[in-house]
Structure 1
Amino acid sequence: MLILHTSDWHLGRTLHGVDLHDHQAAFVDHLVELVRERGVQVVVVAGDVYDRAVPSVPSVRLLGQALRRLSELATVVVTPGNHDSAVRLGFAAELMRPGLHLRARVDELDGPVVVDDTDGPVAFYGVPYLDPDSVRHALADADSDGPLARSHEAVVGAAMRRIRADLATREGARSVVVAHAFVSGGAVSESERDIRVGGVDSVPSGVFDGVDYVALGHLHGAQRVGPVDARPTVRYSGSPLAFSFGERNHVKSSTLVTLDADGLATVETVPTPVPRPLVELTDTIGRLLDGRYDEHVEAWSRILVTDPVHPDRLYSRVRERFPNALAILHTPIGAVDAPALRAVTIETDPVEVAADFVAFASGADASAIELDIVRSAYEAARATEASA
C-alpha cells in the first residue's frame, strides 16, 4: 500500500505580510498530481491544515477543493492540529463523501479507518491535537481515581492505550497512527506555535510503540524522530512551504510510505514546489549593493546591514536593489558600545541624553557639530520658555 503523508499546510498563513494563497494553491495542484502519477491509495494529513481556528473564506474554499480532488483519487484521512478548530474542521464529518474521513473527535480516535489492499487490512487511527486541559478528563480510564496528569505525555499515552486495545482485536491488520504532537528530539523552527502546558510540551517517541508507522504533524522540518532502529518509524512530513527565515535551509517535501505484508517497507520524500527561495544576506551596505549578490535579487530575503554607522537611506536603497526583501535590519559591527542605562532626572543634562540616543540609534558618537546644534536648540527652547 502506498500512503502519502503530509501536514502543516497552514492555509491562510502569510510570510512577513506576503499572501501565500497562490503558492499554497500551487502546492495543492502538485499534491493532486503526485497522487495521480504514483497511484497513491491513502492520503493522510496530520493537522494544521488551517493557520487559525477561524479561517478566511479563500482558505476554506481551497481546502474544500483540495479534499474533493484528493478524495476522487484516494482515501483521505485528516486530523486537526493545534492551529485548527477541531469542532469547525470536523463539523460536517458525517456528511463527507465516501473516501474522505475527518477525524476530529477524541471519542473516535480508537475507531480506525480501515483500507484493504492485496496484503490485507490497514487500520488508520486519526489522533487530533490533544490539549491536556481539554481532554485529560475524557481520556481517563473508567476505573481511575481522577483525571490524567496535566501533560501531553499523559494524554497521548492514554490515546495510544486505547488504539493498541482496538488493534489487538484486528488480527493481521497493519496500522498507521496520524497524530499532531511535539515528539522529544524533534528539531523545531521559529514559525511553530508553542504548545507548552505545565512547562512541558513534548511526548517521548516510545509512547507510539505497537504500530507500523506514525505520521506526525506540528514540526515544520521533515525529519525522523526517536532511535534509528526503533519500531515504529515516527516521522514528521514537515510543512510544504517555508513560513519563517529559520526554515530557509529546509528541503520542503511530502512523504511517500510503502507498507508491505510485514509492515513498513520504504519511506521516500518528494520535494514540493518552491515559489521563491529564502535567503539571509549579512554584509555592509556597499557590498550588498555592488552586484556580488545579484543571484539573490529575486529571492525573498532577510538582509542584515553591518555598517557600524546607520547608512543614509538604508531601507530605500536596499529595497531598490532587492525588491523582494521582506526584512531589512541594521545590525552594526564595530559600533561604539551602547551607553550604560541610567536614570534621567531633572538634573540630567538634556544634551547628554540626546548624545546617548544618537549613539544608541546610529552606532556612532554624536559629532561636535551635532552636539553644538542640539545645545543651541535646547538653549533657545529654554529662552523661549523663560520669556513666555
Structure 2
Amino acid sequence: MRLLHTSDWHLGRSFHGVGMLDAQRDFVDQLVACVQERSVDVVLIAGDVYDRALPGLDVVKLLDDALVRITAAGAKVVLTSGNHDSAVRLGFASRLLERGGVHLRTRVQDLDVPVLLPLDGEDGDGQKAGSGSEASAAVLAVYGIPYLEPRLVAEELGVDTASHFEVTKAAVGRIREDIRMRSADAAIHSVVLAHTFASGGITSDSERDLSIGGLGAVPLDLFTDFGYTALGHLHGRQELAPNVRYSGSPLAYSFSEAAHRKGAWLLEVDASGVGAVEEILWEAPKALAVLCGKLAGLLDAEEHAWAESAYCQVTLTDSQRPAQAMEQLRARFPDTLVLAFDPEGAQARSKKSYSSRLSEAVDDLGVCCGFLDHVRGRSAGETEEAALREALEAARLEGAEL
C-alpha cells in the first residue's frame, strides 16, 4: 500500500498580491498524475487545505475538483483541518463523503476513530475497537488530529491547562489507547496526521504563529512511537525523525521559501509496517529570486539573467535611494513584487536623529532638503533643490507683501 503525505495546500492564497489559483490548479494536476503513475492508495492532507475560514466559491470548487479527481484515480483521501481552516465548514457532510472515499477528521470526538485499511487489499471501516467486526491479520489505522485550539478543546479533552502541549498529549493518549485495544485482535500499524508545530521544525515567514513566544511547540517524542506521523503547519518539507515528517506546502508562499524544494512524501506500507519513505517533488510554476545589491549592478549583471522570468524580491544597497527604482527594476525584472532598501552606511545615518539634522541646517533650504533626505533616504537633486529654492523665495515675497 502506498500513502502520499501532503499538507498546507492553502487554496485561495495570494503571493504578494498575485493570485495563485492557476498555480494551485497546476499542483492538483501534478498530484493526480502522481496518484495514477505511482499507484497511490491514500492521499493524506494534514491541514490548512484552505487559506481562510471562508474560502471563495472558486476556491471551494477547486477542492471539490481535486477530491473528485483523486478518488477517481483510485485513491482514498484522509484530510484534517488546520489553523487556517474552519473545522466546522470543512467537516460538513463528512459521513456522506466517507462513502466516496474522502475521510474527514475535523472533530475532537473523531480523534480515536481511525480509517482502517486492511493490508490484505480488502476495504476497511472506521468502527471503534470492540465492535465485533472480524479483524484482518494486519491493519493500517490512519488517525487524524486536526488543529487543536487549546482554549476551545481543553475541557472536551479533559485537561486542566489550556496549552498546546496538554491538549496534544491528551489527543495522542486517546489514539494510543485505541491502538492498544485494537492490537488485541490484529496487528495494528499506525499513521497519524497532526496539524501542529513540533519541536525542531524549521519555520517560514508564510506560517501563522500558533501562539506567542514559541509556546505552541509540542515535544517531538509525542509522535515517535507511531508507525509514521504526517505533520502539517510548517511550509518547509523536512524530516524531524525517520517516522515524523512535515511534507511542507506544495507551493512557496513567501520569499523565505525561495530555497525550498517543494514536494511530498510517498510511504510504502505492508504487513510488517511502514517501510521506505520516498520524496516526491512538485514542479514550481515560477521561480523565486531574492536579489541584493546596487541598482546599476542588478540591471547590468549577466548572472541575474535567470531572474528575469522569476518573482523577485529586491533589496537595494545604494547609499542613496535611486529615483524610480521600482520602474527601473521592472524594466529588466517584470515580476518584481517586493522592494526594500538597505543603504550602505545606513547604520551611521540612523544614529543621527532628525532633530540633530535640523540643528545643522543653516537656512530654510537646508531644513527642506534635510527633511527630504530623512523621509526618503536620498538627498535633493539639483532640479529638486532649485524647485525648493524657488518655492521658498515665492513664499518669502508673498509674506513681504502681506
TM-score (norm 2): 0.87
Q: Give, in whole Å, the separation in 2 of the partners of 1:337 and 1:41.
A: 61
Q: Give, in whole Å, the separation in 2 of the partners of 1:198 and 1:297.
A: 39
Q: Give, in whole Å, the separation in 2 of the partners of 1:355 and 1:159.
A: 63
Paired residues of 2:119 and 2:271 also in contact (CA < 8 A): no
The 5 A counterparts of 1:235-254 are 235-254=245-264
Cα distance change, pair 353–214 in 1 and its aligned pair in 2 (3 A)? farther
Paired residues of 2:286 and 2:310 also in contact (CA < 8 A): yes
SS in 2 for 1:239: coil
SS in 1 for 2:85: coil
The 5 A counterparts of 1:34-73 are 34-72=34-72, 73=74
| Counterpart residue number, 1:144 | none
The amino acid of 2:323's aligned partner reads D
Q: Give, in whole Å, the separation in 2 of the partners of 1:386 and 1:166.
A: 91
Runs (4+) of structure 1 exceeding 4 A deviation are 348-353, 364-373, 385-388
Cα distance change, pair 49–183 in 1 and its aligned pair in 2 (3 A)? same
* RMSD, matched Cα: 2.4
The amino acid of 1:214's aligned partner reads T
SS in 1 for 2:279: strand
The amino acid of 2:47's aligned partner reads G
SS in 2 for 1:251: coil
Percent identity between the aligned chains? 45
Report deviation, 1:366: 4.8
Within the candidate set 163, 187, 210, 2:175 is matched to 163
> Quick check: which one's helix share is greater?
2
Report deviation, 1:279: 0.7
Paired residues of 1:177 and 1:211 also in contact (CA < 8 A): yes
The answer to whether the aligner puts 1:23 opposite 2:23 as a matched pair is: yes
Paired residues of 2:41 and 2:76 also in contact (CA < 8 A): yes
Within the candidate set 285, 297, 305, 1:294 is matched to 305
Paired residues of 1:164 and 1:210 also in contact (CA < 8 A): no
Which has the higher mean CA deviation after the structures are superposed, 123-132 or 368-377?
368-377
Q: Give, in whole Å, the separation in 1 of the partners of 2:77 and 2:388.
A: 69
The answer to whether the aligner puts 1:148 opposite 2:160 as a matched pair is: yes
Report deviation, 1:54: 0.3
The amino acid of 2:77's aligned partner reads V
Paired residues of 1:76 and 1:101 also in contact (CA < 8 A): yes
| Counterpart residue number, 2:315 | 304
Report deviation, 1:375: 5.4
Q: Give, in whole Å, the separation in 2 of the partners of 1:198 and 1:361.
A: 33
The answer to whether the aligner puts 1:3 opposite 2:32 as a matched pair is: no
The answer to whether the aligner puts 1:116 opposite 2:141 as a matched pair is: no
The 5 A counterparts of 1:333-372 are 333-334=344-345, 337-338=349-350, 339-342=352-355, 351-366=365-380
The amino acid of 1:45's aligned partner reads I
Report deviation, 1:211: 1.5
Q: Give, in whole Å, the separation in 2 of the partners of 1:370 and 1:290.
A: 28
Q: Give, in whole Å, the separation in 2 of the partners of 1:364 and 1:19.
A: 34
Report deviation, 1:235: 0.5
Paired residues of 1:132 and 1:197 also in contact (CA < 8 A): no
Report deviation, 1:11: 0.3
Q: Give, in whole Å, the separation in 2 of the partners of 1:269 and 1:242.
A: 17
Offset from partner CA, 1:300-341 (integer Å, 9 cap, x none): 111222221222321111111111111123332245714314
Offset from partner CA, 1:18-54 (integer Å, 9 cap, x none): 1110110011111111111111111110000100000
The amino acid of 2:181's aligned partner reads T
| Counterpart residue number, 2:157 | 139
Offset from partner CA, 1:245-283 (integer Å, 9 cap, x none): 000000000110112333221111111021011011112
| Counterpart residue number, 1:143 | none
Aligned length: 375
Within the candidate set 206, 211, 227, 2:226 is matched to 211
| Counterpart residue number, 1:89 | 90
Offset from partner CA, 1:86-115 (integer Å, 9 cap, x none): 000001112214311111111111111101
SS in 2 for 1:329: strand
Paired residues of 1:133 and 1:150 also in contact (CA < 8 A): yes
Q: Give, in whole Å, the separation in 1 of the partners of 2:25 and 2:379.
A: 51
Cα distance change, pair 35–367 in 1 and its aligned pair in 2 (3 A)? closer
Within the candidate set 264, 268, 274, 2:278 is matched to 268
Paired residues of 1:278 and 1:299 also in contact (CA < 8 A): yes
